[in-house]
Amino acid sequence: DAEITQSPRHKITETGRQVTLACHQTWNHNNMFWYRQDLGHGLRLIHYSYGVQDTNKGEVSDGYSVSRSNTEDLPLTLESAASSQTSVYFCASSEPTGELFFGEGSRLTVL
């Protein structure tokens, strides 16, 4: 079955370190998204991609970057982790009709 997987599921890092969260989907979807989820907020869009070599900033993109070298993967990089980036991160991909399929999430703690 097609799926979307994230790794690692849990990560603890220190302030200032670079962190990369992986996202891999086998749906063959062109559209991929990264969200963060924090208490008191709905899911907020960090970055998104509509296809290979295409990346776009979302509403909370500062301190994050993505790259899209193939259809299946959209890794999210935190250039220099900050405590404010402690959160649960969700990757998603969507079919042409627009339904989002989410991964299981990556819980990141920045100490």
Partner 1 sequence: KNQVEQSPQSLIILEGKNCTLQCNYTVSPFSNLRWYKQDTGRGPVSLTIMTFSENTKSNGRYTATLDADTKQSSLHITASQLSDSASYICVPISGTYKYIFGTGTRLKVLA
Binding site for partner 1 (CB under 8 A): 31, 35, 40-45, 48, 90, 92, 94, 98-100, 102-105
Is the CB of residue 63 less than 8 Å from the CB of residue 18?
no
State how far the Cα of 64 lies from the Cα of 46, in Å rounded to an integer: 7
Is the CB of residue 110 less than 8 Å from the CB of residue 85?
yes
Cβ 6 to partner 1 shortest distance, Å: 9
Cβ 80 to partner 1 shortest distance, Å: 27
**Measured from the CB atom, is 38 or 79 closer to partner 1?**
38
**Measured from the CB atom, is 14 or 28 closer to partner 1?**
28
State how far the Cα of 23 lies from the Cα of 88, in Å rounded to an integer: 14
